[in-house]
A and B are shown apart, each in its own frame.
Chain A
Amino acid sequence: MSMNHQGRPTSAGELTPSMLPKTFTGNRALDMEEPLIFEVGSFETVGVDLDVPEDVELELGKHARSKPVDLPGLAEPEAMRHYVRLSRNNYAIDSGLYPLGSCTMKHNPRLNEKMARLPGFGDIHPLQPLSTVPGAIELIDELAHWLMTMTGTSAVAMSPKAGAHGELCGMMAIKAAHKAAGRDPKIVLVPESAHGTNPATAALLGYKVVSIDAKEDGTVDFDALKDTIAAHEGNIAGIMLTNPNTCGLFERDIMEIAEAIHAADAYFYCDGANFNAIVGKARPGDLGVDAMHINLHKTFSTPHGGGGPGSGPVVLSDRLAAFAPLPFIRKGKDGIELIETEAQTQDNEQPFGRMTAFHGQMGMYVRALSYMMSHGSDGLKQASEDAVLNANYVRVGLQDLMSLPFGERPCMHEVLFDDSFLKDTGVTTLDFAKAMIDEGYHPMTMYFPLVVHGAMLIEPTESESRASLDLFTATMRDLVMSAQRGDVERFAGAPYLSPRRRLNETLAARKPVLKWTAPDPASVSPASS
């Protein structure tokens, strides 16, 4: 045999982690130490070959720019590399399990992307004449039909741009309904496990927020709710309730709550953030809900979390349907009409105003409808069932080692642990989450909801396979056992292996650096000063 005469070794030498080489570039193989784009590009250059414009007379007068805008000039490959390198440091649903509770980080099917890029949907402009976009309008109407069917409601405001915007829309409809009835109640009830946006929405509309305590089992204390309603008789505008709630538990008293709220001349706003648990299983309209936003970007798989805009249509019950904001679609004898102004409204339509300049997030509508139609009603129902099954699979896989604040009862689409299993280990929920990063997982939601100590809220979604869940629970079990064995080091300094180590939150808050500034202004050439 005559091979490898070049002295090329075929196995690696021994190298301990402490001997990892310091590199000249700061890069660590594929983990690039990428500067900001302002540091990569130069203000003096342009990356594309543009003709020098002929002499033109400026008509901008005193509005003409006096200084260059200082945009970095990069050639296409440089710009491409910059963003590709940055993207390698990003954790995404396409790179791994993303158990961020309350956020429903499910897979975004690529079919949706293909549909959203069809020219008739992707290349249209909101100011185009209506006659040129009947298909797009019909799609919005078709999506509205699916949303109303799924929720058992009679109207939907499509335009809100995300969850909190949807909440605002729903609560504005409620305010308008009270006003139309000559009432002016001042109080909105919010359970203590609510998303922070609920009280914020109520406060923004000038309501006083009264908090409702939770029972030992993590759900709303219905007796406390009845007492509060009685104590503020005639002054309650509505309740804002999430179901399933942020503890991942179904509010079993929901119909009694709805009845009590309606008996008090108030309205029931349901935060639809957790709709993914009940699609196809229960219709909010049947439960007495008057308004609910639907996060298309969560429940119906449009990209979110830095990956794309949200969309939060709001379904409305009969009692609120008349107050839906402009614009809306009306189906009449002449086909589909787009109602854009108050002048176009009929007697039974009393829009409270308008939430957005145009019609909402068209791209999200296409993706959501594509998701719905490709799943079908049976598929949507199964997705909910699988989401709940997966969360319970994780719960059962971890409940003997971690601590469930409300006992070993089934959860819905997400499972909530508290930090009592870490008691006396010297490891906090934050440390635990950071150690998950070293293991290649995006951490779960932590310290929310506020009703339990050191909360860890895990939502695996229906997208994960059993193998993926098994690896996740095995990793979590390894971490828990490590903490309980006293291996504090694994947690205290974590993450050790990420491109950046743990951030100094205190310094960031006390001395925030909000803007990049050129390191040395003197180095900027006269041409740009």
Chain B
Amino acid sequence: MTVYYSKDHEWISVEGDVATVGITSYAQEQLGDVVYVELPDAGKTVAQGDEAAVVESVKAASEVYAPLDGEIVEANEALADAPAQVNEDPEGAAWFVKIKLSNTDQLSELMDEAAYKAFVETL
């Protein structure tokens, strides 16, 4: 299992050809208290950069973009009822979607943890 990060503040944990995607701790901190999460239906095909989910906090509504091409195989329905999980455990229990990747080459465009940390430092 390898964890990657995107410039849109998503973490992508890859096992085989399935990527679990969520938002980073930095992202949830910036958003503030999350009050609503809208998730896609399983089976939906997404391309890199497509809107995959919507997360709404007291401060702002933001899109969560698909970091990679693929098919949504599962969405974390528990978040719909407990959006606060995104603040409590953003990089664990509060994953958003699982995507079956159609182009694993795209992983090379993402950052590792050290690179993401350095990226956040620049913000």
Contact = CB atoms under 8 A, between A and B. Distances in A.
A510 B59 contact: no
Q: Is the interface of A mostly helix, strand, loop or mixed?
A: helix
Nearest to A510: B35
Interface in A495-518: 505-506, 509-510
A190 to B, nearest CB: 17
Interface residues of B, number: 7
A447 interface: yes
A506 B59 contact: no
B118 interface: no
Contacts of B58: 505-506, 509
A509 B32 CA distance: 12
B3 interface: no
Contacts of A510: 35, 83-84
A344 to B, nearest CB: 44
Contacts of B35: 506, 509-510
Interface string B28-45: 000001011000000000
Nearest to B58: A505
B109 to A, nearest CB: 22
A509 B59 contact: no
Interface in B10-38: 33, 35-36
B49 to A, nearest CB: 14
Contacts of A509: 33, 35-36, 58
A447 B35 CA distance: 19
Nearest to B33: A506
A506 B32 CA distance: 9
Nearest to B35: A509
A447 B59 CA distance: 9
A506 B58 CA distance: 6
Interface string B60-100: 00000000000000000000000110000000000000000
B64 to A, nearest CB: 18
A414 to B, nearest CB: 22
B79 to A, nearest CB: 13
A507 to B, nearest CB: 9
A506 B31 CA distance: 12
Contacts of A506: 33, 35, 58
Nearest to B84: A510
A253 B96 CA distance: 44
Nearest to A506: B33
Nearest to A453: B123
A509 B83 CA distance: 11
A376 B36 CA distance: 51
Nearest to B123: A453
B78 to A, nearest CB: 15
A510 B33 CA distance: 10
A122 B84 CA distance: 52
A106 B116 CA distance: 47
A511 to B, nearest CB: 9
Interchain residue pairs A-B with the least CB separation, the first 5: A509-B35, A506-B33, A505-B58, A510-B35, A506-B58
Interface of A: 447, 505-506, 509-510
Given A505-B58, A509-B35, A510-B83, 7 more contacts: A447-B59, A505-B33, A506-B33, A506-B58, A509-B33, A510-B35, A510-B84
12 contacts: A447-B59, A505-B33, A505-B58, A506-B33, A506-B35, A506-B58, A509-B33, A509-B35, A509-B58, A510-B35, A510-B83, A510-B84
